[in-house]
Amino acid sequence: MASPQTLFLCLLVLAVTEGWGRQAAIPGCHLHPFNVTVRSDRQGTCQGSHVAQACVGHCESSAFPSRYSVLVASGYRHNMTSVSQCCTISGLKKVKVQLQCGGDQKEELEIFTARACQCDMCRLSRY
């Protein structure tokens, strides 16, 4: 019969590898749904909710020693060159959200949500 420490270790390994399996099931950059609540004003006179899409995940990045020409041009200060990509929205779509305004009164509002995602050059202005 296995000792309690051995059983605990086996359960721990199973729990950790199970978590890795779920993460590996959706590699890269992909759409991820989330609930958003829309209000017509700060008081919430009219409000509604909708499932919108965001881009989440990871993209490949790398770093390598700079070429000699880059070293010379930078005065030998830029000794590593990095290439990175970020998970970004590559397409948007408009969706209509029904807002309830109390009683039977309703309003409709259009919001944008991600339609597609891709790995693209990281740009500070996007984040």
pLDDT of residue 40: 83
Phi first, then psi, for residue 83 (nearest 5°) are: -125, 120
- Name residue 57's beta-bridge partners: 29
**Cα–Cα distance, 53 to 75 (Å, whole number):** 45
Phi first, then psi, for residue 59 (nearest 5°) are: -130, 160
pLDDT of residue 72: 94
Q: Are 54 and 117 in contact (CB under 8 A)?
A: no
Rounded to two decimals, what is the model's pTM? 0.61
Look up residue 126 and give its DSSP letter.
Answer: G
pLDDT of residue 42: 82
Q: All domains of the chain, ordered by start, with CATH?
A: 4-126 (2.10.90.10)
Block mean pLDDT (10 aa), the chain, length 127 = 34 33 62 92 87 93 92 92 90 94 87 94 68
pLDDT of residue 45: 85
Strand, helix or coil for residue 83? strand
**Cα–Cα distance, 86 to 68 (Å, whole number):** 27
**Cα–Cα distance, 90 to 30 (Å, whole number):** 11
Q: Which amino acid is at 108?
A: E
